[in-house]
Amino acid sequence: MQYRHLGVSGLRVSALGFGAGTFAGTGPLFSAWGDTGEREARRLVDIALAAGINFFDTADVYSDGASECVLGAALKGRRDQVVLSTKTGLRLGDGVNDAGASRHRLLRAVDASLRRLGTDYIDLLQLHAFDARTPLEETLATLDGLVRAGKVRYLGVSNFSGWQLMKALAIADRRGHARPVAHQAYYSLIGRDYEWELMPLGLDQGVDAVVWSPLGWGRLTGRIRRGQPPPPGSRLHATEAFAPPVEVERLYRVTDALDAVAEETGRPVPQVALNWLLQRPGVATVLVGARNAQQLEQNLGAADWSLSPAQMARLDAASSVPTPYPYYPYWNGMFAERNPPPVPPHREPTP
């Protein structure tokens, strides 16, 4: 397993992380993801730790807090071995203040997450979404206070736009607050919007990607192919309405290329899709989830090898889409040779 620094920080995280969205599994979305209980969760955590994974991620909204409870129970007795990450900000309850990133909500939410996780500190706390109704000055001052109090050690965001993240960074810098070092974002071979603005912003500002849904909401598992309906048992039947959209022909173009590269490498399709992400700039960790040990062990196999430059180029070409204004390649090309995008040395993976 490789370990990479998380943004401009001294914290090192495994190149593959474990996403606990499948734990507990209640409600129409999360029950389709998985319903792993404490006993099986401990087994999955055992497998992940043995493979070198040290980054475990959940959120208070996953199964209304039950995912945090199950993950905390599975980590009992080995809390100090892991980097524990959770998220808050989405609605959790029916009260008028049960959503967002106000001081009132954040202080209550963090204390509740600590209780459910069975710990007295959170290694990485991420805002699950941008709260346009709360001044960022209030949110960041509250988060800084949580860091100073020792309840939180590092900060991140999730699902922010470029201007939202840059505004947060500017306020944190101006006021001397702890600044975000991670951005948990959707990124996959069929979801490359992250590259247009968020990737160069992250490289410039030292905010690394924590990638969620790296298999494109289950579409890049090797079970979805041209001319075939989703197989029986696919979670897409129940969750497609929640999934990031993708144009059908583009999906098949990518799955065709994945099949070809998988045949060349002798690796399963999911490993190829994950390995492509592991070689992208500014990616600190790629979250893999699993409903059972077999799925987890297969996904873990993505970390011990590398696609060739030719194979990366083939997947790049198959998954590319026209770049929108103002990111159109013409403008970038005018300055590409003189001013290449900065890649800080701390991004280099270490064994």
Q: Would you say the C-alpha torsion 104, 110, 111, 116 has a positive or negative sign?
A: positive
What residues are labeled active site?
A: 62
Write down the pLDDT at residue 347: 46
What are 187-227's pLDDT values in tens digits? 999 999 999 999 999 999 999 999 999 999 889 998 888 87
What was the pLDDT predicted at 350?
45
Residue 328 has pLDDT above 90, yes or no: no
Structure tokens at 310: 């030719």
Of all residues in the chain, the percent with pLDDT exceeding 70 is 87
CA dihedral 198, 169, 117, 49 (to 10 degrees): 50
Give per-residue burial for 50-65: e unless 16+ CB within 10 Å, then b.
ebebbbbbbbbbbbeb
* pLDDT at res. 340: 54
| Bigger pLDDT: 170 vs 239 | 170
pLDDT at 234 over 70: no
Looking at 16-25, 202-211, 274-283, 339-348, which range is the least confident one? 339-348
pLDDT at residue number 329? 65
d(CA 316, CA 232): 30
Look at residue 169 and tell me whether its pLDDT is greater than 90: yes
For the chain, give the percent of residues with pLDDT over 90: 75
User: 81 is written with which tokens?
Assistant: 């071995």
What pLDDT does residue 349 have?
44
Question: In the predicted model, is pLDDT for residue 175 greater than 50?
Answer: yes
Cα 184 to Cα 13, 45, 60, 126, 319, distances in angstroms: 14, 21, 15, 8, 21
* pTM confidence score: 0.88
Q: Classify residue 173 as exposed, middle or buried by CB count within 10 Å of its CB (0-12, 13-18, 19+).
A: exposed
